[in-house]
């Protein structure tokens, strides 16, 4: 039986020049036996590959190499090396552009000097001489422009076509035609002199077309690289959160070791201002920790013994001693980076449109260019090679698929990065796209709308002072780990009541506890437990208990000292501080809200009334929530589900988009499409805002990318666009798409 287990890896890619390069690598990797899925992100220059254990990493790297590109496996240890390699590529691109600009400037000057409105510019004969123009243009064409030929060759070798093919064809046609005319002019010149009396005697050439075009293309790619670099800053910022060193206790000494070598259980010291090296628990010390880089919360969080710490967050003023719990790839930060990278490498349904168009785009453009040349040469301007060639070249150079290929991934890159910085993790791009279309949000109650733990809300005592009786009850409960006991102790502490010594604690599961505080016997638990102990419940408290129990949990208490005292404590799970604001914000976005809970009806109705949720279903089992979501979807609604527990997993999976609270269970977070790291519902509203803005941005990019080609190709074919102008427009189109995507960072 074939194993269902698969491995995943991210590859760093080098040498891609356009979106079709990404498509070719993606198809090549998907053809490797054992590869389940490969997705290439052109904007991030990475490939995400899911494969069977039988596949060797070298097979994947060799496959990329065979396509004419370079690849390395992405690991935490080679991140800096990869960054340096990309920086070298960018630096070489910049140098090529500057040299090309220097060589092509005289050719550009000679060209624009022919424009009527610039006829006043002086034009030396040397600038128009064929040999001089050849000397300037040849290094650009075959030296600086060689990578375009290389890219075109490997594309055609693998049965595909890309932007390099268009550039190589267009510039070669212009340069080759000019070279042929130059040779003919030279052989026909009777004197053989290299200098004529006037530049008007020189033949019409297109050296400047190829040279200036290549220069503009290089400039555009350089600007595009800079813009793409800015768009991936969020991921780099997350990677930089990982501290390099950790101070670990070895014997009686503290030594610094690389944080990647930390092991669970090791004791680590974190000084003021240092980044916390890994996930763990505070064992000594007190400090405030800035967790904003992971959770989006600007207010530092107090940490003391027993508090949890997240790797990458920044320690405040105190020294913390911690015990490492999760290290390496198991930390929350590593999980966030992995989730964001995987999300950014997935493809949104909207991206498939661009992919299909890009795959047939280049052959179509080449065919249009060829037939346009024939049309002008044989019909519209018979025999006019110069004019016909110019129009064909303009078509080739304006119709670059890069803007189309960048339209979706760059917007997604910026959108998911922005979300991650706010504590919102889109586990896949489909979830991000679907988030924008939601019209209904269903909520679990406990742990989603509420804190998920009990708090004391009301206290009633008989036979003594309220504070004294609460102090004794909390002292008795201090020996219990039950959530209700912890809530009672916390209430006493909030009232500045000190706990008294406890002895003879006995617990009865599902009932309550017996304990002595001083000489008094204290019973605490439910009414049945007290009755079974022989206590007769006061009628006054019994009536009050019946009222409270409709919406709350009730704990009875009896103190048997010199006199008998009674205490009745009501506890309930309270709303998170931001829940009401979040629900109001969702309503302002015209989203319908629904409460789905397994709790009793009156509790659910009370919560619904506080929040203004009118559709409330209570007493639901997990399968009931699943069925309700299915029913709403059958009505044509696009439904999101927010939950935090194992019992919410079926509903989270069934929803169009599942939102898991980051403080919830692992299975809920694995099932959902979006994780709200801090469990704050305000982040849900923010996620929908980001989803809508990102999808809107993608549609804008696709519109302009399509419109650009739909308008540009006919204009070029009609002869209204010089090749060098077409090259400029093509280069700027990609930059425009990236810059438009970067607007998401400010929206």
Q: Is the pLDDT of residue 229 over 80?
A: no
Q: How confident is the model at residue 194 (pLDDT cuts 50, 70, 90)?
A: very low
The pLDDT of residue 347 is 53
* Residue 740, in any domain of the structure: no
Look at residue 742 and give its three-state secondary structure: helix
Q: Could you say which DSSP state residue 141 is in? A: I
Number of structural domains found in the chain? 2
* Residue 198, in any domain of the structure: no
Whose tokens are 């206790």? That residue is 249
Interatomic CA distance for residues 381 and 375, integer angstroms: 8
The pLDDT of residue 265 is 92
Q: Each residue of 90-101: pLDDT tens digit?
A: 888 889 889 998
Q: Is the pLDDT of residue 225 over 80?
A: no
Q: What's the rounded mean pLDDT across residues 277-302?
A: 74
* Residue 140, in any domain of the structure: no
The pLDDT of residue 636 is 92
CA dihedral 513, 516, 521, 526 (to 10 degrees): -20
* Residue 36, in any domain of the structure: yes
The pLDDT of residue 384 is 86
* Residue 161, in any domain of the structure: no
Average confidence score pLDDT of the chain: 80
Q: What's the rounded mean pLDDT across residues 388-394?
A: 81
* Closest to 743 in 3D by CA, of 696, 707, 676, 705: 696
Q: How confident is the model at residue 228 (pLDDT cuts 50, 70, 90)?
A: low
The pLDDT of residue 196 is 47
Q: Is the pLDDT of residue 622 over 80?
A: no
Count of CB atoms situated within 10 Å of the CB of 267: 16
DSSP bridge pairs for 459: 569
Question: Of 522, 540, 574, which residue sits at a domain end?
Answer: 574
Check residues 405 and 215 and name the one with the higher pLDDT.
Answer: 215
Q: Which two tokens stand for residue 585?
A: 């914000």
152-161, 470-479, 675-684: the lowest-pLDDT one: 152-161
Q: How confident is the model at residue 107 (pLDDT cuts 50, 70, 90)?
A: confident
* Closest to 561 in 3D by CA, of 672, 476, 498, 652: 476
Of the residues 279, 444, 599, 656, only one is catalytic, namely: 444
Q: In the annotation, is 444 catalytic?
A: yes
15-19, 31-35, 250-254, 296-300: the lowest-pLDDT one: 296-300
Q: How confident is the model at residue 231 (pLDDT cuts 50, 70, 90)?
A: very low
Check residues 550 and 263 and name the one with the higher pLDDT.
Answer: 263
What are phi and psi for residue 308, nearest 5 degrees?
Answer: -85, 145
Q: What's the rounded mean pLDDT across residues 357-376?
A: 82
Question: Of 514, 546, 574, which residue sits at a domain end?
Answer: 574
Q: Which two tokens stand for residue 624?
A: 């009931």
* Closest to 459 in 3D by CA, of 425, 424, 487, 427: 487
12-24 as b/e, with b when 16 or more CB fall inside 10 Å? bbbbbbbbbbbbb
Residues 340 and 298: beta-carbon distance below 8 Å: no
* Residue 489, in any domain of the structure: yes
Residues 327 and 679: beta-carbon distance below 8 Å: no
Residues 597 and 608: beta-carbon distance below 8 Å: no
Interatomic CA distance for residues 52 and 322, integer angstroms: 38
Q: How confident is the model at residue 730 (pLDDT cuts 50, 70, 90)?
A: low
The pLDDT of residue 1 is 38
Q: Is the pLDDT of residue 252 over 90?
A: no
Q: How confident is the model at residue 645 (pLDDT cuts 50, 70, 90)?
A: low
* Residue 695, in any domain of the structure: no
Residues 697 and 743: beta-carbon distance below 8 Å: yes
First-to-last alpha carbon distance for the chain, in angstroms, is 51
What are phi and psi for residue 695, nearest 5 degrees?
Answer: -65, -40
Q: Is the pLDDT of residue 580 over 90?
A: yes
Question: Of 574, 602, 626, which residue sits at a domain end?
Answer: 574
Q: What's the rounded mean pLDDT across residues 222-229?
A: 61
Interatomic CA distance for residues 458 and 74, integer angstroms: 56
- β strands within 66-201, DSSP E: 70-73
To the nearest whole percent, how much of the chain has pLDDT over 70? 80
Q: Which two tokens stand for residue 708?
A: 């650009």
Q: What's the rounded mean pLDDT across residues 214-220?
A: 72
Q: What's the rounded mean pLDDT across residues 368-374?
A: 90
Q: Each residue of 121-136: pLDDT tens digit?
A: 666 777 778 888 899 9
Q: Could you say which DSSP state residue 32 is in? A: S
Highest mean pLDDT among 153-167, 211-225, 506-520: 506-520
**CATH number for the domain that contains residue 17:** 3.30.70.100
Interatomic CA distance for residues 450 and 446, integer angstroms: 5
Return the half-sphere exposure (C-beta side, CA atoms, 13 A cut-off) of residue 491: 25
Q: Is the pLDDT of residue 589 over 90?
A: yes
DSSP bridge pairs for 542: none
**CATH number for the domain that contains residue 470:** 3.40.1110.10
Check residues 211 and 332 and name the one with the higher pLDDT.
Answer: 211
Interatomic CA distance for residues 381 and 388, integer angstroms: 8
Q: Is the pLDDT of residue 628 over 60?
A: yes
Look at residue 655 and give its three-state secondary structure: coil
Q: Is the pLDDT of residue 245 over 80?
A: yes
Q: How confident is the model at residue 238 (pLDDT cuts 50, 70, 90)?
A: low
Q: Is the pLDDT of residue 57 over 70?
A: yes
To the nearest whole percent, how much of the chain has pLDDT over 90? 21
243: left (phi over 0), alpha (psi -120 to 50) or beta: beta
Q: How confident is the model at residue 353 (pLDDT cuts 50, 70, 90)?
A: low
Longest dimension (CA), the chain: 133
The pLDDT of residue 172 is 83
* Residue 324, in any domain of the structure: no
508-517, 681-690, 720-729: the lowest-pLDDT one: 720-729
Look at residue 719 and give its three-state secondary structure: coil
Q: Is the pLDDT of residue 18 over 70?
A: no
The pLDDT of residue 599 is 77
Q: Is the pLDDT of residue 665 over 80?
A: no
Q: What's the rounded mean pLDDT across residues 466-478?
A: 92
Interatomic CA distance for residues 109 and 106, integer angstroms: 5
Q: Which domain holds residue 501?
A: 452-574
138-147, 182-191, 483-492: the lowest-pLDDT one: 182-191
Q: Could you say which DSSP state residue 144 is in? A: I
* Closest to 530 in 3D by CA, of 512, 554, 548, 505: 512
The pLDDT of residue 601 is 83
Residues 502 and 517: beta-carbon distance below 8 Å: yes
């Amino acid at each position: 039986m074939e194993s269902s287990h698969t491995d995943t890896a991210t590859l760093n890619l080098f040498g891609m020049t356009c979106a079709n390069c990404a498509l070719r690598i993606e198809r090549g990797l998907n053809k490797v036996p054992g590869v389940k899925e490969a997705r290439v992100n052109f904007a991030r220059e990475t490939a995400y590959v899911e494969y069977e254990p039988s596949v060797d990493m070298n097979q994947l790297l060799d496959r990329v190499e065979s396509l004419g590109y370079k690849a390395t496996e992405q690991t935490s240890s080679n991140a800096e090396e990869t960054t340096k390699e990309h920086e070298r590529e960018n630096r070489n691109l910049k140098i090529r552009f500057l040299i090309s600009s220097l060589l092509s400037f005289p050719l550009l000057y000679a060209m624009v000097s022919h424009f009527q409105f610039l006829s006043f510019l002086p034009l030396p004969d040397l600038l128009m001489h064929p040999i001089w123009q050849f000397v300037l243009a040849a290094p650009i064409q075959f030296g600086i422009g060689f990578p375009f030929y290389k890219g075109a060759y490997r594309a055609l070798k693998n049965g595909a076509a890309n932007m390099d093919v268009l550039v190589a064809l267009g510039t070669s046609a212009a340069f080759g035609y000019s070279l042929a005319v130059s040779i003919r002019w030279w052989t026909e010149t009777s004197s053989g002199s290299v200098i004529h009396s006037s530049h008007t005697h020189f033949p019409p050439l297109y050296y400047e077309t190829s040279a200036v075009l290549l220069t503009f293309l290089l400039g555009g790619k350089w600007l595009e690289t800079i813009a793409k670099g800015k768009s991936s800053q969020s991921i780099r910022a997350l990677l930089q959160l990982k501290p390099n060193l950790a101070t670990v206790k070895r014997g009686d000494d503290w030594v610094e070791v690389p944080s990647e070598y930390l092991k669970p259980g090791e004791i680590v010291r974190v000084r003021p201002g240092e980044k916390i090296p890994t996930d763990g628990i505070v064992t000594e010390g007190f400090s405030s920790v800035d967790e904003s880089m992971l959770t989006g919360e600007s207010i530092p969080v107090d940490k003391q013994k027993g508090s949890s710490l997240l790797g990458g967050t920044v320690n405040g003023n105190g020294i913390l001693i911690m015990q490492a719990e999760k290290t390496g790839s198991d930390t929350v930060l590593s999980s966030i980076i992995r989730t964001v990278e995987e999300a950014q490498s997935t493809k949104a349904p909207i991206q498939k449109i661009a992919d299909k168009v890009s795959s047939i785009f280049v052959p179509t453009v080449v065919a249009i260019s060829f037939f346009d040349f024939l049309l002008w040469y044989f019909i519209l301007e018979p025999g006019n090679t110069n004019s016909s060639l110019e129009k064909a070249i303009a078509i080739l150079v304006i119709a670059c698929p890069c803007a189309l290929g960048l339209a979706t991934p760059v917007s997604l890159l910026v959108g998911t990065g922005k979300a991650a910085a706010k504590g919102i993790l889109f586990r896949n791009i489909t979830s991000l796209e679907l988030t924008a279309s939601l019209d209904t949000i269903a909520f679990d109650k406990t742990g989603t709308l509420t804190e998920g733990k009990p708090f004391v809300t009301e206290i009633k005592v008989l036979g003594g002072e309220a504070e004294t009786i609460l102090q004794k009850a909390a002292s008795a409960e201090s020996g219990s780990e039950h959530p209700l006991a912890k809530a009672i102790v916390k209430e006493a502490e909030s009232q500045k009541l000190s706990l008294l010594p406890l002895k003879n604690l006995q617990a009865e599961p599902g009932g309550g506890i017996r304990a002595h505080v001083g000489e008094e016997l204290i019973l605490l638990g439910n009414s049945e437990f007290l009755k079974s102990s022989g206590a007769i419940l006061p009628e006054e408290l019994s009536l009050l208990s019946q009222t409270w129990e409709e919406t709350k949990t009730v704990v009875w208490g009896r103190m048997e000292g010199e006199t008998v005292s009674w205490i009745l404590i009501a506890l309930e799970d309270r709303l998170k501080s931001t829940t009401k604001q979040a629900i109001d914000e969702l309503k302002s976005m015209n989203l319908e809200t629904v409460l789905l809970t397994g709790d009793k009806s009156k509790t659910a109705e009370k919560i619904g009334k506080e929040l203004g949720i009118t559709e409330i279903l209570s007493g639901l089992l997990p399968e009931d929530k699943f069925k309700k979501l299915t029913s709403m979807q059958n009505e044509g609604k696009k439904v999101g589900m927010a939950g935090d527990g194992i019992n919410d997993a079926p509903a989270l999976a069934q929803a169009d988009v599942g939102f898991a609270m980051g403080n919830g269970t692992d299975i809920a977070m694995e099932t959902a499409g979006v994780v709200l790291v801090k469990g704050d519902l305000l982040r849900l509203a923010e996620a929908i805002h980001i989803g809508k803005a990102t999808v809107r941005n993608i549609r804008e990019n696709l519109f302009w990318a399509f419109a650009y080609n739909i308008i540009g190709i006919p204009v070029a074919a009609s002869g209204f666009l010089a090749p060098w102008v077409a090259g400029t427009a093509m280069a700027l189109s990609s930059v425009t798409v990236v810059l438009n995507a970067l607007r998401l960072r400010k929206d």
